[in-house]
Structure 1
Amino acid sequence: MKKFSRPIASLLLATASAFGFMASAWAVIPIQQWTQPNGAQVFLVESPVIPMLDVRIDFDAGSRRDTAAQAGLADVTALIAGKGVRAANGEPALDENQLGEAWADLGASFGGGASRDRMSFRLRTLTEPDLLQKTVHLAARELGEPAWPEDVWQRERERITASILESRTRPGTIAGMAYSKAVFGTHPYGYEVTPESLAAITVQDMRARYEAGMLPCRAKVSLVGAINRAQAETVVNQLLARLPQTEGAACPSLPAVPEVSDLNQFKDERIPFQSAQAHVLIGQPGYKRNDPDFFPMLVGNYILGGGGFVSRLTTEVREKRGLSYSVGSYFSPGLHAGAFTITLQTRPDQAAEAVSVSRQVLKDFIANGVTQAELKGAKDFLQGGFALRIDSNGKLLDNVAEIAWNGLPLDYLDTWVEQVGKVTAADIKAAFARKLQPEKMVTVVVGGKD
């Protein structure tokens, strides 16, 4: 993503508190939703207090659609797509430097990136009419008319390759690679980007991937800012107008991606490495983002290992035994079952004990559930911190995009605090028992001589 210019950065600082007050004062966050004639699904929150607009456009073109041989294709496609625009419709080409200068002159930003599930593009601009029109026009050019410069790709491939090779000298990277492969197997979530996979990618591959995935009918567009529905319709139409268009109402379907397979046995992998700290990862596939157990798992994991110094793992591993400075657990749900992970670092000679204690804490948690005091503490923290999740246009935009992408109810943010409050100790115990199987988890330890 590009940095904000001075005018927009100053405005953000001056108006952040105003938006935070507005967000906390809202009884509801009204999300308007409709489908454009071109098939794009649009989600709008009108926020008139600040004269600016944030837009996020998501496509089903993330790394889950890579092949193992070309792992990293989604990431580098999003990267090189923003390195210049070609000459088209009587307008001159812009290289990456000219494009950056054009955005600086407008005092706005636009950029793209890829995650496991989606390729995303973000626009931020002030909403003064003439400026908004110019900003949307330039964003539409960058989105729909990338130049795909060969020389830039060769440069970036060398840079990324060097970064990969350097990262392999670190125990944390080695642990993460081994862990991801063990948890996800042959699923795309577990693919590793390597110098070899990057060498197999050409700009022609990027262009083909981009043109096949970037159809308006597949776009989910989230907007938060000082515009109304009619203005939003115009903005969305302009942003998507230069992308490949489909004939008729049907949107070509994409190939199905298989689900993440459950683990069928326990796996313990120890990788020798000369380092001061052993890196430990314990886990398994977890659940999808739209799973009905989301809130019990959210509250439960805060108690287990997501709550920092008040979590069970910290109490048992750090406070009582001094085995690790930091230990925690997290879920990473997506369109497929992302990993549940316990992570810690410890002295190599303490690794076996730290692993044993962490496993036992998890087993006890699943078997016995949580106390009422723990449940109240978790709810108080999560509910009390909810306002911080939506205290800026950018944060609110990310939440709206999550609703759009995962098919969550439009009143999801309105009922979030209530849903957390409904979670019971029985809900947590049942949900964790359904999702986690400690006897079949992966353990990876990198560090020590043996």
Structure 2
Amino acid sequence: MRSVKREAFSVKGESRLLRPLAVAVGLLLWAASGAAGDLSLGDPRKMTFAPVEFTPPEPDRVVLDNGLVVYLLEDHELPLMTLTATIRTGAWLDPADKIGLASLTGSVMRTGGGGGLTAEQVDEELEHFAGDINISIGRQSGSASLDVLSKDFARGLQIFAGLLRAPAFEPARVELAKLQALETIRRRQDNPGSVVSREFVKVLYGPDHPTARESSIESVTRITREDLVAFHRATVHPNGIILGITGDFKKDEMLAALRAVFGDWKKGAVPELKIPDVPPQQAAKPAVRFINKETSQTHLRAGHLTIKETDPDYVPLAIANDILGGSSFRSRLFNDVRTKRGLAYSVGSRLNTGVHDEGVWLMRAETKLASTQEVVSRFVANMERMRTEPVSDEELAEAKEAYVNSFVFSFSSPSAIVNRLVELEYDGLPKDFLQQLRAKVVALTKDDVLAAAKKHFQPERLKIVAVGSGEALPKVLSSFGEVKEIRLSPEG
């Protein structure tokens, strides 16, 4: 979805780091209850613990006169500095005939020199003091980062600001980046897993939607150096950038350094990040598609568009997905399709949501051609079960505990804390958004999960995409609807 992602539900199971602490706390509570005198009275497997409480430190937020937003959090443990920039630009702004422009712009901002330095001079200076700068532009945002020792931060910041503000886009580096992009396109169809993921997104959104469209040899070939210069000039402005800085510094000195390199950068017209929704008729229509490709297994995707992360049903739907297939070894899909029936080694479900475009909910598996129909049938059966039966107390407790225990990993370091706040501000969300999600998880009931599953798992809208070899695949899929073939265009 977007290049910057929150992963509030991505850490599954009990943390290895938290387990010793939980056991220790449990023993203390048990001892306080008077049971410590007889070890036979306590079974560690039946212990219950209160949710882990954690209050992260609060970074400072400062806005420079030109609108550039800065989050700062000092950390003097090591003589290191990390600076990140989130930029309100992205591939959603690519012209229809030049898809790939934003990505190339971000790449050559880093590799093509800037700030009065040639590309070779930038690389040599960074190598001299072991500094690292990265710049890229994804679908919904751009990002840049600087990692450097504290003693070299002043020079690193100058180089970083030069590349961000005044990239040179050296012609030779532009051509090299285009050749690399073209080679990536030529090899894009080699991996069946990548093919099914890309084609599934196209079926969901439509191939011309900003979230699904992809570059081609023709679109990249059309891009010129002047296009990169114009794209940078039109979309990269200080009032569209949020900086996050952590490390061994003092706030006043840091702000003075930032004003020295960014203070005279003039404001610009920042593009509004607005992704259109898919037309309701297209989103509601089921589909069955296949790609004929020589591969040892059928690669499956089945799902549909779903809610955004700001929807009131996001938390119960995320927990429903976790129980269905998101939690790997303890999920229903894993235990049914893999453990019980032995139909697939890799199986699960996923809920990908954002703020700016519609989310995606999907089930996935890799299986033999002979078992493809049965796997899809098990997808539908487990989906229906989630919609019609309450989850068990144990399933709900495990899913909730996994999230609550994983919450601290959203704030595992000063840089993680700052990056979370930068992401939230970029998406227009309150700074306590993750804390709100956590509170909703703690209060969640089985009825909440059932209602969300019934409302948002919709079999009648299911879109199925399969990549596999042989002419038998369409017949295998025909019981789920009219099957149509997706013919991949030759690349190169």
Pairwise TM-score range, normalised by the shorter structure: 0.7 to 0.9
Is 2:288 the partner of 1:268?
yes
TM alignment of 1:196-215, pairs within 5 A: 196-215=218-237
CA contact 2:54–2:408 (8 Å) conserved in 1: no
1:405-447 CA distance string (max 9 Å, x none): 2223223455564343222223323334444422112100110
Partner of 1:56, secondary structure, is strand
Counterpart position of 2:381:
360
Counterpart position of 1:299:
319
More divergent stretch after superposition (439-448 vs 170-179) = 170-179
CA contact 1:68–1:192 (8 Å) conserved in 2: no
Match of 1:123 among 146, 149, 158: 146
CA contact 1:83–1:146 (8 Å) conserved in 2: no
Is 2:362 the partner of 1:341?
yes
Match of 1:193 among 215, 219, 226: 215
Quote how far apart the aligned CAs of 1:40 are: 2.0
Match of 1:110 among 133, 143, 149: 133
Counterpart position of 1:39:
67
Shift of the 413–172 alpha-carbon distance from structure 1 to 2, 3 Å rule, reads closer
CA distance in 1, matches of 2:115, 2:338: 59
Counterpart position of 1:161:
182
Partner of 1:85, secondary structure, is coil
- Amino acid of the residue matched to residue 409 of structure 2? L
Quote how far apart the aligned CAs of 1:214 are: 0.5
Counterpart position of 2:91:
63
Counterpart position of 2:349:
329
Counterpart position of 2:340:
320
- Amino acid of the residue matched to residue 75 of structure 1? S
- Amino acid of the residue matched to residue 171 of structure 2? E
1:362-414 CA distance string (max 9 Å, x none): 22213334222111001222222333333234433432332222223223455
Shift of the 67–361 alpha-carbon distance from structure 1 to 2, 3 Å rule, reads farther
Match of 2:118 among 78, 90, 94: 94
Shift of the 25–270 alpha-carbon distance from structure 1 to 2, 3 Å rule, reads closer
CA distance in 1, matches of 2:362, 2:179: 32
CA contact 2:112–2:118 (8 Å) conserved in 1: yes
Counterpart position of 2:79:
51
CA distance in 2, matches of 1:57, 1:87: 17
Match of 1:277 among 291, 297, 307: 297
CA contact 2:236–2:270 (8 Å) conserved in 1: no
CA contact 1:290–1:407 (8 Å) conserved in 2: no
CA distance in 1, matches of 2:244, 2:100: 26
Partner of 2:304, secondary structure, is strand
Partner of 1:48, secondary structure, is coil
Quote how far apart the aligned CAs of 1:232 are: 4.4
1:112-168 CA distance string (max 9 Å, x none): 11222101111222334xx22212111111111211122222222222222222221
CA contact 1:278–1:351 (8 Å) conserved in 2: yes
- Amino acid of the residue matched to residue 148 of structure 2? T
- Amino acid of the residue matched to residue 195 of structure 1? I
CA contact 1:140–1:241 (8 Å) conserved in 2: no
- Amino acid of the residue matched to residue 259 of structure 1? D
Match of 1:183 among 201, 204, 209: 204
Shift of the 270–101 alpha-carbon distance from structure 1 to 2, 3 Å rule, reads same
- Amino acid of the residue matched to residue 94 of structure 1? T
Q: TM-score, normalized by length of structure 2?
A: 0.78
Q: TM-score, normalized by length of structure 1?
A: 0.85
Counterpart position of 1:403:
424
- Amino acid of the residue matched to residue 59 of structure 2? I
CA contact 2:82–2:415 (8 Å) conserved in 1: yes
- Amino acid of the residue matched to residue 237 of structure 2? L
CA contact 2:169–2:225 (8 Å) conserved in 1: yes
- Amino acid of the residue matched to residue 313 of structure 1? L
Partner of 1:269, secondary structure, is strand
- Amino acid of the residue matched to residue 39 of structure 1? G
Match of 1:430 among 451, 469, 472: 451
- Amino acid of the residue matched to residue 277 of structure 2? E
1:201-240 CA distance string (max 9 Å, x none): 1121111111111111111222233345434433443453
CA distance in 2, matches of 1:216, 1:101: 27
Counterpart position of 1:258:
276
- Amino acid of the residue matched to residue 188 of structure 2? S
Q: What is the RMSD of the two structures over their aligned residues, measured on CA atoms?
A: 2.6
- TM superposition outliers: structure 1 runs of 4+ over 6 Å: none
How many residue pairs align between the two structures? 418
CA distance in 2, matches of 1:227, 1:266: 55
Partner of 2:345, secondary structure, is coil
CA contact 1:318–1:324 (8 Å) conserved in 2: yes
1:82-115 CA distance string (max 9 Å, x none): 1132464xxxx322x3312211223322111122
- Amino acid of the residue matched to residue 306 of structure 1? G
- Amino acid of the residue matched to residue 198 of structure 1? V
- Amino acid of the residue matched to residue 412 of structure 2? D
CA distance in 1, matches of 2:62, 2:307: 29
CA distance in 2, matches of 1:153, 1:410: 39
CA distance in 1, matches of 2:352, 2:115: 41
- Amino acid of the residue matched to residue 141 of structure 1? G
CA contact 2:304–2:360 (8 Å) conserved in 1: yes
Shift of the 104–294 alpha-carbon distance from structure 1 to 2, 3 Å rule, reads farther
